[in-house]
Amino acid sequence: MTTLRRSLRRTVALVLAAAAVAACAPSRASTNAKGEMTVLGDTEALGLGIATPYATIDKQGNPVEIGVRLTEKALDGLPQGDAPSMYVLNFPEEAAKTPVKNLMLNWYPKGRKPAELFGEPQLAFHFYTIDHGEAMGINPKAETAKANNLLDPKYVAKDFIAEPGDPVEKTVPAMGLHWLDSTREFGPGKPEFSEVFVYGSWDSKMIFLEPLATRKYLLTKPNLTAEVKQPAAFQKDAYYPTKYTIRWDGELQQYVIALTNLTKRQGS
């Protein structure tokens, strides 16, 4: 009997402990004054903090925003050295009506080339429209025909151009070919690089949408919302962003990097 009582007490203690942990854990879903519901995906350790993907849907279940939240400490204790780091985050099922399948978050402790323009340590947020395994399989030198198979002009956003040079050389293995906004220039006599939005492609498909920002810029706790320039046509039916945001949420003490103002588009 004594053994049974001890077992019961131990079971009750475990149940109470689990309940306490659950009570302290952040809610996976919350609703704002407009009735929009934000649902969190699985978290990923980043620096000394965490990164949490999320999707926000309206009352009809249609997506209005998809993004990632970084706790303040996520910008501290990031890996140093020459090699970039990669983190893969999966969105909740509420993001299914967007073209986005996953987020590849890349940390570049030495920035990107050319160093005189983009050498500041930075974070890149690749919102991929293909599976992670497919992205990892991108090999431009082994598949030159796919590397040279660029986007049809109707799928290229206004003012955007493929990164100048040979697509086989410019396509980043396990990532894709970057498309740049030709109206945004950085360098001596021009604005210092702090943030930008780019597209990515592989084998005639648009495969990622990418806001990126320097760590220095994020530490200023910005409040940026900017236009996502649109192509004349889209490759598949989905809700696509017309804006992106890089901002500090003072209430939750988090950085927010998101694709916003999602709008339904017909594929052609």
Please provide the DSSP assignment of 194-210 as one string. Answer: -EEEEEEEETTEEEEEE
Structure tokens given for 134 = 């497919």
Lowest mean pLDDT among 109-113, 200-204, 221-225: 109-113
| Residue 2 pLDDT exceeds 60 | no
Q: Choose among 234, 100, 226, 227: nearest CA to 156.
A: 234
Give the mean pLDDT of 145-168.
98
Give the mean pLDDT of 162-181.
97
Q: Per residue in 95-106, pLDDT tens?
A: 999 999 999 999
How far apart CA 66 and CA 39 sit, in angstroms, is 10
More confident residue, 259 or 3: 259
Summary mean pLDDT of the chain: 91
The answer to whether the beta carbons of residues 256 and 69 sit under 8 Å apart is yes
Domain residue ranges in the chain: 27-265
What are the CA-CA distances from residue 182 to residues 157, 176, 198, 238 (Å)? 11, 19, 10, 26
The answer to whether the beta carbons of residues 93 and 101 sit under 8 Å apart is no
| Residue 8 pLDDT exceeds 90 | no
Structure tokens given for 250 = 């003072």
More confident residue, 17 or 244: 244
The residues near 115 (Cβ < 8 Å, ≥ 6 apart) are: none
Residue bearing tokens 């399948």? 101
Share of the chain above pLDDT 70, in %: 90
What are the CA-CA distances from residue 180 to residues 156, 184, 198, 199, 233 (Å)? 10, 8, 5, 7, 18
The answer to whether the beta carbons of residues 231 and 155 sit under 8 Å apart is yes
Q: Per residue in 9-20, pLDDT tens?
A: 444 433 333 343
Instruction: Check residue 207 and give its pLDDT.
Output: 99
Q: Choose among 236, 200, 267: nearest CA to 99.
A: 236
Instruction: Check residue 27 and give its pLDDT.
Output: 62
Lowest mean pLDDT among 30-34, 60-64, 156-160: 30-34
| Residue 26 pLDDT exceeds 70 | no
What are the CA-CA distances from residue 54 to residues 64, 256, 262 (Å)? 11, 10, 14
| Residue 187 pLDDT exceeds 80 | no
How far apart CA 225 and CA 17 sit, in angstroms, is 42
Instruction: Check residue 118 and give its pLDDT.
Output: 82
| Residue 145 pLDDT exceeds 90 | yes
More confident residue, 218 or 118: 218
Side-chain-facing half-sphere of 73: CA atoms under 13 Å = 5
Instruction: Check residue 188 and give its pLDDT.
Output: 78
Q: Per residue in 127-137, pLDDT tens?
A: 999 999 999 99
Q: Per residue in 35-66, pLDDT tens?
A: 999 999 999 999 999 999 999 999 999 999 99
Q: Per residue in 76-128, pLDDT tens?
A: 999 998 899 999 999 999 999 999 999 999 999 999 877 777 889 999 999 99
The answer to whether the beta carbons of residues 43 and 50 sit under 8 Å apart is yes
Residue bearing tokens 């996502």? 228
